[in-house]
Amino acid sequence: MTLSHDVSSSEANEALILYQGEIVKFGRSPHNFGELAGANVQAHGDSPICGDHMTLYLDFRAATIMAAQFTSSACCAVCKASASMMTDMLKHKSLIEVHLLRRAFLRTIEHGDALPLDRTLLGPLTVFERLRHIPSRVECAMLPWTTLETALAQPLMTEPPAEPRGRPVGRSPQ
Ligand SMILES: [Zn+2]
């Protein structure tokens, strides 16, 4: 009996292309790297398996992400590439668009093959479908997206609008 599920050389090549192309490029010179001045949302993410750490900064106004940047003290090339492309794509996206993008990314990672509609949404992020050949790095690619989910669940850091005034009732006498 022979094994019918050996990794073919074309699959191995595909995985190699991922590493030699976008992953290496963004690993060396990530996009949107550094603290974001004026960010009003910030979230931290860790991936214990790989040891990746990252912080995501968003400038979030009128239910739209105006700008997104990240920093990392330890983030592998796969994580940096995913964070670079994600922060590129988040700019000027509404919450609904972000939700659709995130869903398309998760679906692509899960299935290992992007649906035609998802390819349109994902653009360069479609490259991560090749992680089906490198399942051990899925968590690295996912970290920016789970950090994004954490960020969007947090309250804004900017000062909330002033409390309504004219509530002198209950002031305790001196
Ligand atoms: Zn990693």
Q: In angstroms, what is the span from residue 163 Cα to ligand 1's centroid?
A: 44
CB-based contacts of 19-22 (< 8 A; 24+ apart in sequence) = 19/77, 21/127, 22/81, 22/85, 22/124, 22/127
Q: In angstroms, what is the span from residue 162 Cα to ligand 1's centroid?
A: 43
Whether 101 has a pLDDT exceeding 90, the answer reads yes
Q: Angle at CA 17, nearest 5°, toward 46 and 101?
A: 50
Separation of alpha carbons 142 and 161, rounded Å: 35
User: pLDDT band for position 5 (50/70/90)?
Assistant: very low
| pLDDT value of residue 42 | 96
Q: In angstroms, what is the span from residue 76 Cα to ligand 1's centroid?
A: 4
Other C-beta atoms closer than 10 Å to the C-beta of 56 total: 30
pLDDT tens per residue, range 115-160: 999 999 999 999 898 888 888 889 999 999 999 999 999 888 875 4
Enumerate the domain spans of the chain.
Answer: 30-152
Q: In angstroms, what is the span from residue 138 Cα to ligand 1's centroid?
A: 8
pTM of the model: 0.81
Q: In angstroms, what is the span from residue 83 Cα to ligand 1's centroid?
A: 11
pLDDT, mean over the chain: 84
Q: In angstroms, what is the span from residue 140 Cα to ligand 1's centroid?
A: 4
Q: In angstroms, what is the span from residue 24 Cα to ligand 1's centroid?
A: 13
Separation of alpha carbons 113 and 106, rounded Å: 11
Whether 75 has a pLDDT exceeding 70, the answer reads yes
Q: In angstroms, what is the span from residue 12 Cα to ligand 1's centroid?
A: 19
More confident residue, 77 or 158: 77
More confident residue, 27 or 70: 70
| pLDDT value of residue 36 | 96
- CATH number for the region 30-152 comes to 3.90.1010.10
**Which residue bears the tokens 């994600």?**
86
